[in-house]
Amino acid sequence: RAEAMGVTAIFAALLLLIVLPPVLVWLQYTLHLPARVLVAHEVFTAAECVKVLRIVEEEGLWDSTTESQHYLPTKEVRVHESAALFDTTARGVDQTLQLLRRAYDVPAEVRMRLADLYVVRYDQKGLSGLQMHIDAYTLSFSASLSTPAAYEGGGLDFDMLDGGPIREAQGSVVTFPSKLLHRGADVARGARYALVGLVSVGNDEVWRLSGTVVSRMHGMFARCASMSLVDSSGKVLTPPLQPERCFGWVDLAIGHVRNRVEILLRAGSSDDLMELLALNLAILCGGLLAHRYVM
């Protein structure tokens, strides 16, 4: 009898390990807010954009850049490294942060801070584009420093939205939940410059069963996404640029796992290799347990 109870307990534990993760993932997708990609025009002036480009080129800041993430080979100029860059972008960045708080309904008591701010360049000589990925933190923005006529191809592309890459006018800002899958589309000619900001909100919670505001806005578990135009106050204008589009939670979960594996295959350090190994072992064990006890 004791042996039978032990076998039953082991079976129950294994079943729980198989059933619980999908249930928790399903719950996160159920609680999460729809992802809203927002576009605001003329946040930065043309003069500010031109000055930023002049500073990064004339001061030779590209010569000192390094890849910030070895598995996402971007080369960036950090704004805080140049007083001239900081001063030139300060007004537009401050306006963008205010817009983010209003447009995404971040409560006044929840802390928001700019965690990272950098200029990135896409061209045929260096980095032409960037694969699908997610950002750190909770909210992100990308300000277009180039005019659309300055390059062919390129733009900001989202996995959940139709319509192709977003190629906005110079000075426009695209804001979005940081963990919504996105990429920098390949530039075929010319050069595309963008000012990218990563914004920390609260504790940047990704997984929380209580469904707090922060844990429901980062985008990883959003089943629906839309794109709208907003005015300077953060008010969403109608009609939407792209209507809401929804997906099944299983497809989205598989998409995130697949994307993470693709990124980790570029691993350049032991930490990344260990993460990839752990992920593969988890998938293998889950498959074996499912085959043994479920199928």
- The pLDDT of residue 215 is 86
- The pLDDT of residue 281 is 62
User: Quick one: residue 181, left, alpha or beta (phi over 0 = left, psi -120 to 50 = alpha)?
Assistant: beta
- The pLDDT of residue 263 is 73
Q: In the chain, what are the domains?
A: 2-31+252-293 (no CATH), 35-245 (2.60.120.620)
With a cut of 50, which residues of the chain have pLDDT below it?
Answer: 70, 269-270, 295
Asked whether the beta carbons of 44 and 65 are under 8 A apart, the reply is: no
Residues 6+ apart with CB under 8 A from 104: 36, 139, 175, 217
Q: Which long-range contacts (CB under 8 A, 24 or more apart) does 271-275 make?
A: 272/70, 272/71
| Secondary structure (3-state) at 282 | helix
Asked whether the beta carbons of 128 and 186 are under 8 A apart, the reply is: yes
**Residue recorded with tokens 């996995």:** 159
* Per-residue CA distances from 241 to 122, 129, 149, 202, 263 (Å): 25, 24, 21, 29, 30
E strands in the chain: 35-40, 67-69, 72-78, 112-123, 130-133, 139-144, 151-153, 156-158, 173-177, 182-184, 187-201, 224-230, 236-246
- The pLDDT of residue 278 is 64
Q: What is the pTM of this model?
A: 0.83
Residue 58, token pair as written in the block: 């004339």
